Amino acid sequence: MVPLDTIQWLHFEGRNVDNLIRMVLWMNEQSWRSNITISVEFEKPDRSTLEPLYDKVDVLFFSKPWAKARGAHSAYDFLHSMADRCKARAIAFCTWGSSPAAVMTKEDGNVKVSTIPVEQATEILDSVGAGDTFNAGVIHGLITGRDAREAAAFGCHLATRKVQQHGFSGLVNPDRTDNFVHPPLSNDYESLSCATGHTRRSSHHAH
């Protein structure tokens, strides 16, 4: 058994909800909690009992079905609606199929929400596991030092690559000619003050 206090990141799919909640609550009480990042995927829209974890984890991954079931019309709109429901310094991601994804960061009482362009697949061969591929790409990006928007762009790239092939073999291969090149991201984001609810446009990078 690997000691939990030696682990850098723990990611949970939104399954076995009762046990998942118990595990997260227990970890939040441990002395080593600040040394570990906990992420949770909110995918199946009917698993509303996961909602109490919104403000208990560090990184949140939301699916389009989850967001639509809660009245959102885009990834961007949904993450704006989550501003007051996530913990301080949380990072949240939401995908929306072939439409732009979105990323939200919280820091010093401000929420910054950015849209992330999605490459269009030339053909869809196998979409099974595309969401997991996005999550893995984002986690890899964050662990290796990318900021939240860069990590989201990398995750989107991998997910688009995934749906254009069967299975996962060769998904990450340094010899491929279609390897990730960071797309130009707008310097604009929308900043929402958690304290006042005031929204403003900014020309600074979102971190």
Domains by residue range for the chain, with CATH = 4-169+186-202 (3.40.1190.20)
- What single-letter amino acid sits at 194? C
- What single-letter amino acid sits at 88? A
What is the full DSSP assignment across 122-160?
A: S--S--TTHHHHHHHHHHHHHHTT--HHHHHHHHHHHHH
Does pLDDT of 165 surpass 90?
A: no
Does pLDDT of 90 surpass 50?
A: yes
Helix (H, G, I), strand (E, B) or coil at 55: coil
Mean pLDDT for all residues in the chain: 85
Give the mean model confidence (pLDDT) for residues 11-30.
95
Query: Are 139 and 9 spatial neighbours (Cβ–Cβ below 8 Å)?
Result: yes
Query: What pLDDT is recorded for position 123?
Result: 85
pLDDT digits (tens, 9 = 90+) for 177-201: 566 555 545 544 444 433 334 444 4
Per 3-state DSSP, the chain is made up of helix, strand and coil in percentages (nearest 5) of: 30, 20, 45
* Full-model pTM: 0.84
Query: What pLDDT is recorded for position 179?
Result: 63
CA–CA separation, 175 vs 171, rounded Å? 11
Query: What pLDDT is recorded for position 194?
Result: 35
Query: What pLDDT is recorded for position 39?
Result: 98
Tell me which range, 55-59, 120-124, 129-133, 162-166, is most confidently predicted by mean pLDDT. 55-59
Q: Which carries the bigger pLDDT value, residue 169 or residue 62?
A: 62
Going by pLDDT thresholds of 50, 70 and 90, the confidence category of residue 167 is: confident
Give the mean model confidence (pLDDT) for residues 114-123.
89
Going by pLDDT thresholds of 50, 70 and 90, the confidence category of residue 27 is: very high
